[in-house]
Amino acid sequence: MQLGPWSQGRRAAMLYYRREVRQEGPGTPQQRHIDDFETAIASSLGGGGLAVFQTLRRLALKNSWRVYLVGGPVRDVLLDVAIKDLDFGVEGDAPVLAHQLAESLGGRVVTHARFMTATLIMPDLRVDLVTARREVYPRPGDLPRVFPGSVAEDLSRRDFSINALALPLWEIAPQVLDPEGGLADLDAGVVRVLHERSFRDDPTRLLRAARYEQRLGFELEGQTRRWLADAVAKGPRSKGLLGRVSGDRIRHELERIFEEKQPLPALRRAARLGVLAAIHPAWQEDMLTAGALSDAFRESFRDGATDHDSLMYLAGLVYHFSPAQGDTLIRRLNMPRAWSEVVRDTIHLRGIESRLAKEALPPSHTYSLLQSLSPAAVRAVAKITSSQRVSEAMNLFLDRLSGITPRLRGSDLISLGVAVGPMVSQILERLRDCRLDGQVDTGEDERRWVLEYLQAGKGSEDNPEKGD
């Protein structure tokens, strides 16, 4: 495998440690001193990730291949937080290396020829390998044209300085490469773009800035914050530069926020910065205080629970939308079915809250109102609604009613004399409603109810009505 020459003029930074500890909020990662970077990385990985790292390290040392661990993994090891994703840069042909890695470890390779990248897909892991490259953006917001380049050029195209770090895997005692001052920014606790054109080149960095700032407990660097405000304010139809970006790309960045361990701080920050309103005008910060950014919704996750459905946050963001606004957002973000269902169901749920709030509403009625709707939408509205009765009805459905089914099956009904056809499913629905409302409990109760139903002449072919 032929790999490009080692770039000249690189600036290598020795691994260093924090001399003054910042007083930040709980959970803010602190940069640490690292004597053995390889061991530190291995301690943050497990399973397939560790195997990939060790295999690439061995191949790079053996063949002097210019392979780098780049971006987030280097940053996270320095901050002593778990590595979320493995990203490697190659001064050469990344797809060729990906196929060699697949031969050693198994898995399959997906190549993205336009961007000179490849993804190794293993049962529990995805690994990105990127050819070191330089980029040219034809117009603000367009996808870049890419050309092979050096690692220095590759790092200079990164979104933020704290992600413009690389570790050469072929060196016996590797040092972190830091051409953009990322180590100093880690030390200062700031998120900084590399140049004035950064947000114009890739406006999705507006969302990414809020996500990294809040995940790490950092602050936007002053000039970066001013450039961000300018990018939000300028653009086609007064929607800022995000107006030039495809819905798929924006949706992907929102999805990354939803998948954070604590998504709400990033969403609130993006709202305060005006980034969300640049996506949809109804996402003004003051409008969102009744939805995903409300204190009630935020407090429901105060313990940092991670067993939520990430689309609950999408539901929270559209709770105050009209149906027309929801349809506009669905089209703007080119939403797949799961997303569009959450949007439409959330808006529908807000419209039927008065029906769910009725006193002494039978459980079977609650079930019929909610059973066809997205669980993520129901969970979100249960947290957002100001009506305690509505919240209780929704939680009852989620916790108990949604799992209730008749004990009898269709074959049991047929053996009892129910005519084959639509009547079977109709009686099963009636049995479910009876169980929901406490009218039957055991299988024997259900058999007795079916026999009485048949004796009343409601289950024959001549009388296919459901009955009272």
Cα distance between residue 152 and residue 89, in whole Å: 11
Tell me the per-residue pLDDT of 276-291, one tens digit each, with 9 for 90 and over. 999 999 998 877 766 6
Residue 32, pLDDT > 70, answer: no
- Answer whether residue 132 shows pLDDT above 90: no
Per-residue pLDDT, averaged over 138-146, amounts to: 72
> Is 60 exceeded by the pLDDT of residue 378?
yes
Alpha-carbon dihedral 379, 384, 387, 388, rounded to 10 degrees: 60
Superfamily of domain 1-188: Beta Polymerase, domain 2 (3.30.460.10)
**CATH 3.30.460.10 domain extents, the chain:** 1-188
- pLDDT, one tens digit per residue, over 442-466 is 999 999 999 999 988 765 544 444 4
Mean pLDDT confidence for 340-358: 96
Q: What angle do CA 421, 371, 393 make, to 5 degrees?
A: 140
- What pLDDT is recorded for position 1? 40
Share of the chain above pLDDT 70, in %: 84
pLDDT for 93 equals 85
Candidate from 10-19, 118-127, 131-140, 420-429 with smallest mean pLDDT = 10-19
Q: What's the pLDDT tens digit per position in 421-444? A: 999 999 999 999 999 999 999 999
pLDDT score recorded for residue 28: 55
Least confident of 82-96, 202-216, 352-366: 82-96
pLDDT of residue 2: 38
Helix-strand-coil split of the chain, %, nearest 5: 50, 10, 40
Give strand pairing partners of 86: 127
What was the pLDDT predicted at 21? 32
Determine the average pLDDT of the residues in 185-191. Answer: 96
What is the average per-residue pLDDT within 141-167? Answer: 86
Which pLDDT tens digit goes with each residue over 51-65?
A: 888 888 988 898 888
Could you tell me which residue, 420 or 44, shows the higher pLDDT?
A: 420
Residues 6+ apart with CB under 8 A from 463: 457
Q: Which two three-digit tokens encode residue 390? A: 């509505």
**Poorest-pLDDT segment among 59-63, 69-73, 227-231, 346-350:** 59-63
**Percentage of residues in the chain with pLDDT exceeding 90?**
54
Give the model's pLDDT for residue 462.
Answer: 47
Out of 38-47, 231-240, 344-353, 377-386, least confident range: 231-240
Report pLDDT for 149: 79
Residue 23 binned pLDDT confidence (cut-offs 50, 70, 90): very low
Q: State pLDDT tens for residues 292-336.
A: 677 667 666 654 444 457 899 999 999 999 999 999 999 999 999
Residue 48: pLDDT over 80: no
**pLDDT tens digits for 246-280?**
999 999 999 999 999 889 899 999 999 999 999 99
Q: Fill in the amino acid letter for 64.
A: S
Q: 95 pLDDT exceeds 60? A: yes
Give the pairing of strands 219-220 and 190-191.
parallel
- What does the block give as tokens for 288? 């969102």
pLDDT attached to residue 456 = 84
Q: How many CB atoms lie within 10 A of CB 303?
A: 7
Helix intervals (H) in 319-458: 323-332, 337-351, 353-356, 363-370, 375-384, 388-399, 410-415, 422-436, 443-455
N-terminal to C-terminal alpha carbon distance within the chain: 77
- Who wins on pLDDT, 64 or 354? 354
One-letter identity of residue 3? L
Q: How far apart are CA 17 and CA 375, in angstroms?
A: 46
For the ranges 117-121, 172-176, 375-379, the maximum mean pLDDT occurs at: 375-379
pLDDT tops 80 at residue 222: yes
pLDDT at 183 over 50: yes
C-beta separation of 215 from 266 below 8 A = yes
Q: Is residue 367 scored above 50 in pLDDT?
A: yes
CA distance linking residue 337 with residue 219, whole number of Å:
36
**Can you give the pLDDT at residue 44?**
80
pLDDT above 90 for 127: no
Please return the burial class of 183, using the count of CB atoms within 10 Å of its CB with bins 0-12, 13-18 and 19+: buried
Q: Which of 82-91, 233-242, 412-421 has the lowest mean pLDDT?
A: 233-242
